[in-house]
Amino acid sequence: MRLILLDNSNEIRGNFYPLALSRPLWELRCGFNSLGQKLIDKVGANDVAYFVPDYMADSYRGKVEWPVNDSSVLDGDDLLIVDPRVKAESFDVTANPDKIGSEVGLDEQGNVLYARIAKDDLAKLPLAPAVTRVQARDEVGKLIAEAKEKLPNIRSALPRWQYIWDLVLANAEQITADFAAAGQHGIEGTVEQPNAIRGNKKDVYIAPGTIVHPMVVIDAEHGPVYIDEDAQIHSFTRIEGPCYIGKKTILLGAKCREGNSIGPFCRIGGEVEESIIHGYSNKYHDGFLGHAYVGEWVNLGAFTTNSDLKNDYSAVSVILDGRRAIDTGSVKVGSLIGDHVKTSIGTLFNTGSYVGPMALIMATGKPLPKFITSFAWFIEGVVTKGFGKGKLYEMAKMAMSRRDCQWTKTEQTMWDAVFEMTAPIRNQAIKKSRRAMLNR
């Protein structure tokens, strides 16, 4: 059986911006790992293929071992095509069509959640061979449409992730579930004394290669703590469970509150609470980050802080598209920060802030606007073109080289596409800032 993950709806992808601008939905993280890995583990797949938006295909192809936008994977085997927003823990669909037959699972609106197609039934769904990669991505959409028309349809109530902040709000619960699934506890790394482990020691796992310095508190009273391989936990750090610390991440005297998934390869100080931080990002200094989702290669300057609770305790709204505010239904939502964002010292993010990737932000001494567009140079309270995207690329290349990672041509091509996709909103913001400056 071949598992196929499909991400080709721009309308749906927008609910997961700014993180989904530069990665397919299944690469979003929650708990210990990505949504895609959770689905792969759930169905026990050892043969996987991906279909992603065209602009990120070449870049993504260089990061994964399985085929990307290759129509040849649609033939020769039983297929299980899944919407990556489906929550893995609830996905109880039998992967093997030989046992139960082909079927297409639909939600109440008739949208396809999954399609299980036996190899023999593929003959009922004739498709022309694709000759280009663009056509290859279209072919899987045609296959699903044919399957919906010709194969048995069933109604399914499988729960799905709806918005990016849903992952943040569910993170503590996901960490607990992932810890139980991992089935590991105990100390395999080095824990220097004196130290304190509170709660049940069976709720703590310290992986090989990890070094925990003296005067560290690991508090598993209210949830498990998993510290992955080769991490370093410096003195005067406090880690509260549920919490996952990724490989080669360093905590520098951090107040690591409950519900955090951090890393790999991050450098974290100050206070962090119920946040997800992708790899290679730094919050080295003091400052508060709460109920936030942070992408890769982000650098938050000293005392950068976000609000995650409004003064009137009402539900937080988020502006995902630069135009309309979406009610999250939660009283706690912090910042959504895209890849390669850089902030100056003393940056203050408003409750429910959206910060587009590649934004360069200078503090103003007061909370910033709730929406900051991608590739913005936000200086002295206004959005400018700054020194352009070329300079931002130079900074990204330098940051990646410091971690022995390479800025590639395919990576830059993807970001060029993101730049064009986000240009209308950015240009509006620049014009608005120019008008405001003229009226001062």
What is the pLDDT averaged over residues 8-27?
93
Residue 135 confidence (pLDDT) above 70: no
Assign a CATH topology to domain 184-381: UDP N-Acetylglucosamine Acyltransferase; domain 1 (2.160.10)
CB atoms within 10 A of CB 413: 13
pLDDT at res. 138: 76
Residue 299 DSSP code: E
Lowest model confidence (mean pLDDT) among 40-44, 122-126, 387-391: 122-126
Could you tell me which CATH number the domain at 2-162 has? 3.90.550
Residue 205 confidence (pLDDT) above 70: yes
Q: Where are the domains of the chain?
A: 2-162, 184-381
321-379 tens-digit pLDDT: 888 899 999 999 999 999 999 999 999 999 999 999 999 999 999 999 999 999 999 99
Phi, psi of 333, rounded to the nearest 5 degrees: -145, 125
pLDDT at res. 434: 83
User: Residue 351, exposed/middle/buried by CB under 10 A (0-12, 13-18, 19+)?
Assistant: buried
Residue 103 confidence (pLDDT) above 60: yes
Confidence of residue 136 (pLDDT cuts 50, 70, 90): low
383-396 tens-digit pLDDT: 998 899 999 999 99
Lowest model confidence (mean pLDDT) among 99-108, 174-183, 187-196, 245-254: 99-108
Structure token pair of residue 49 = 């293929």
293-335 tens-digit pLDDT: 999 999 999 999 999 999 999 999 999 988 889 999 999 999 9
Distance in angstroms (rounded) separating the CA atoms of residues 342 and 264: 19
What is the pLDDT averaged over residues 216-239?
98
pLDDT at res. 389: 94
Q: How many CA atoms lie within 13 A of 158 on its CB side?
A: 26
Mean pLDDT of the chain: 93
Amino acid 135 reads: Q
pLDDT at res. 99: 62
